[in-house]
């Protein structure tokens, strides 16, 4: 069991330091937003983070899981070890807004030219945790134990053929030397008003699978489809069949589940039926039994549908995250802390999300608590989704993030 804590207000000197660093946190966020880097390529981002942490006198390690940065802050008194994690990578998305710090970065991703954008708020996570490090480093006398700051690359997934993210950090020992007792993380949310925190005990985000279906047909002239086997037509039937697994075979009253095909590649010319097609997509599940059933049925269905139309199909699977699971005891212990910094009416119990988070791999190893931070300007009529060109976050949301992560750390380490 976790020790209890009191629902006390923030120490005045800590609060003063947090409020005084708000503009700096916003400046860091703008820098990272203008200079985004893709997964496992966060070189300048890591350099900027490491320079700041070193300037605070922390013990800094770079090159963890390729581009990750880890720093240790020793309190003046002995105690437990708590880890705080922020993800630092951006996405292959071309930004479409008029922000003065808009990203203009262009790169090549999987052979295609694309913009690069912090379209999921990782720039805010990074800036918030840098701010927390700044504040806590000035209050070592209030820390019973050790704080481990984890700036994690490749949360969105490493490039094909590479390792990365939380899995690789764990493999390289990020949760040891010293051994971590608990870990906290947050995710800013474009659809939650500034000043609000949302959380859920237990399963809060989905297990994520990536799948690739390879469909094999027989090439022929587009004017004579009967002379070949059309892999594009077969692909359409497979996609339709996959959705029937959700609508007719999955017990959605228990938990949500999603199958999405996000990319189809086939053909070179309008009047040629091609030889093959490739479908790439994702499965999101919150229930282990449903996960097994969906994977089994998709594998069977792809092959059977292709055979029915004269072709063949195989499916390859890659697990990207497990269920993001908030330890119930740790969650219950820390909710009073969030209520003390945000207000009881601003800390809201939410439902599970079919989004995924590789923070979940840390939670497989040690108790963890992951919550959602409001980033939408109050009164806004439309919030653009994450991973889209129009995604935006209000800078005013970050101050509460610094307060929450700082006080979670102090309350956890100083609990009796």
**Which candidate, 268, 270, 273, places its Cα nearest to that of 235?**
273
Among 17, 87, 89, 357, the active-site one is 89
Residue 256, token pair as written in the block? 């949500």
Is position 155 annotated as part of the catalytic site?
yes
Nearest-angstrom CA–CA distance, 197 and 373: 5
Three-class DSSP category at 177 = coil
Could you say which DSSP state residue 397 is in? G
Among 155, 230, 255, 358, the active-site one is 155
**Which candidate, 97, 93, 90, 95, places its Cα nearest to that of 114?**
93
Nearest-angstrom CA–CA distance, 353 and 204: 6
CB neighbour list of residue 101: distance below 8 Å, 6 or more residues apart? 30, 33, 34
How many other β-carbons are positioned within 10 Å of the β-carbon of residue 226? 7
Nearest-angstrom CA–CA distance, 124 and 28: 8
Nearest-angstrom CA–CA distance, 61 and 150: 10
For every residue of 109-160, DSSP letters joined together read ETTEEEE-B--SSHHHHHHHHHHHHHHHHT-GGG-EEEEEEEEES-TT-PPT
Buried b (16+ CB within 10 A) or exposed e, 292-320: ebbbebbbebbbebbeebebbbebeeeeb
E strands, 286-408, are 312-321, 324-326, 347-349, 353-356, 368-376
**Catalytic positions, written as ranges:** 89, 155
């Amino acid at each position: 069991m976790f020790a209890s804590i009191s629902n006390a207000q923030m120490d005045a000197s800590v609060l003063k330091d947090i409020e005084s660093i708000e503009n700096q946190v916003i400046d860091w966020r703008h820098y990272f937003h203008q200079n985004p880097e893709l997964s496992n390529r966060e070189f300048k981002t890591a350099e900027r983070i490491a320079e700041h942490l070193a300037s605070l006198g922390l013990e800094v390690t770079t090159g963890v899981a390729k581009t990750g940065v880890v720093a240790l802050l020793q309190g003046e008194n002995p105690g437990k070890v708590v880890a705080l994690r922020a993800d630092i990578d951006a996405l292959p998305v071309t930004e479409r807004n008029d922000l003065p710090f808009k990203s203009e970065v262009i790169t090549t991703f999987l052979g295609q030219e694309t913009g690069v954008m912090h379209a999921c708020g990782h720039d805010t996570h990074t800036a918030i945790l840098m701010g927390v490090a700044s504040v806590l480093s000035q209050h070592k006398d209030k820390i019973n134990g050790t704080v481990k700051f984890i700036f994690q690359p490749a949360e969105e997934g490493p490039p094909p053929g590479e390792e990365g993210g939380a899995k690789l950090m764990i493999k390289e020992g990020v949760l040891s030397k010293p051994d971590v007792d608990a870990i906290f993380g947050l995710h800013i949310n474009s659809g939650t008003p500034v000043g609000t925190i949302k959380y859920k005990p237990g399963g809060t985000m989905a297990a994520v699978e990536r799948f690739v279906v390879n469909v094999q047909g027989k090439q022929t002239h587009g004017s004579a489809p009967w002379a070949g086997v059309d892999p594009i037509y077969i692909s359409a039937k497979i996609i339709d069949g996959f959705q029937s697994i959700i609508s007719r075979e999955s017990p959605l009253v228990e938990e949500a589940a999603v199958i999405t095909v996000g990319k189809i590649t086939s053909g070179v010319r309008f009047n040629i039926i091609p030889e093959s097609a490739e479908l790439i997509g994702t499965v999101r599940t919150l229930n282990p039994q449903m996960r097994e059933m969906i994977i089994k049925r998709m594998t069977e269905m792809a092959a059977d549908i292709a055979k029915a139309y004269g072709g063949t199909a195989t499916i390859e699977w890659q697990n990207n995250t497990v269920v993001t699971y908030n330890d119930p005891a740790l969650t219950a212990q820390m909710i009073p802390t969030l209520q003390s910094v945000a207000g009881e009416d601003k800390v809201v119990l939410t439902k599970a999300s079919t989004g995924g988070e590789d923070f979940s791999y840390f939670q497989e190893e040690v108790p963890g608590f992951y919550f959602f931070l409001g980033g939408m300007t109050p009164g806004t009529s439309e919030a653009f989704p994450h991973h889209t060109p129009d995604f935006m976050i209000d800078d005013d949301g970050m101050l509460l993030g610094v307060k929450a992560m700082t006080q979670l750390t102090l309350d956890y380490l100083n609990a009796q």
